[in-house]
Chain A
Amino acid sequence: MILKIAWKNVWRSRGRSLVVIGSIVVGIWALLFGSGFMNGFLVGYMANIIDNDISNIQIHNPEFKKDLDIKFYIENGKDKAAAIRTWQGVKGATTRTVVSGMISSPKKASGVQIRGIELENEAIVTSLDSIISEGTYFEGIKRNPVIIGSKLAENLSTKLRSKVVLTFNDSQGNITAAAFRVVGIVKSSSLAISEMYAYVRQEDLTRLAGLDGQIHEIAVITDPQIDEAGIVNKYKETYKEDLAETWKETAPELAMMSEMYGSMLYVLMGIIMTALVFGIVNTMLMAVLERFRELGMLMAVGMNKMRVYFMILIETVFLGIIGAPIGLFVGWVTIYYYRVNGVDLSNYSEGLEAFGYSSILYPYLEPNTYYIVTVGVIITAVIGALYPAWKAVKLNPVEALHKI
Chain B
Amino acid sequence: MSVIKAENVTKTYNETKVPVHALNGINLEVSEGEFTAIVGPSGCGKTTLLNILGGLDHPTEGNVEVADTNIGEMSDGKLIDFRLQNIGFVFQAYNLIPVLTNKENVEFIMLLQKQDKKTRNDRSMDLLTQMGIAEKANQRPSELSGGQQQRVAVARALASKPKFILADEPTANLDSKSTATLLDIMAKMNEEENATFVFSTHDQRVIDKAKRVVTLVDGVVVSDETK
Contacts and interface: CB of A to CB of B under 8 A. Distances in A.
A297 B160 CA distance: 15
A11 B93 CA distance: 23
Interface stretch (B36-44, B104-112, B185-193, B198-206): B104-112
Contacts of A401: 56, 91, 95
A301 interface: yes
B74 interface: no
Interface string A375-404: 000000000000000000000011001000
B222 interface: no
A302 B104 contact: no
B89 interface: yes
Interface residues of A, number: 22
Contacts of B84: 301-303
Contacts of B107: 1
17 contacts: A1-B100, A5-B97, A5-B99, A294-B95, A294-B98, A297-B91, A298-B97, A302-B83, A302-B84, A302-B160, A303-B84, A303-B112, A304-B77, A305-B77, A398-B51, A398-B56, A401-B56
B114 to A, nearest CB: 11
Interface of B: 51, 54, 56-57, 76-77, 80-81, 83-85, 88-89, 91, 93, 95, 97-100, 104, 107-109, 111-113, 156, 160
A300 B97 contact: no
Nearest to B88: A301
A382 B83 CA distance: 30
Interface in A7-51: 8-9, 11-12
A365 interface: no
A397 B107 CA distance: 21
Given A1-B104, A301-B84, A304-B81, 8 more contacts: A1-B108, A1-B111, A5-B100, A294-B97, A300-B54, A303-B112, A307-B112, A398-B51
A299 interface: yes
Given A302-B80, A305-B80, A9 B91 contact: no
B78 to A, nearest CB: 10
Contacts of A187: none
Contacts of B111: 1
A12 B98 CA distance: 9
Contacts of B112: 301-303, 307
Given A299-B80, A302-B80, A398-B57, A8 B100 contact: yes
B56 A300 contact: yes
B199 to A, nearest CB: 16
A151 interface: no
Contacts of A11: 99
Contacts of B97: 5, 294, 298
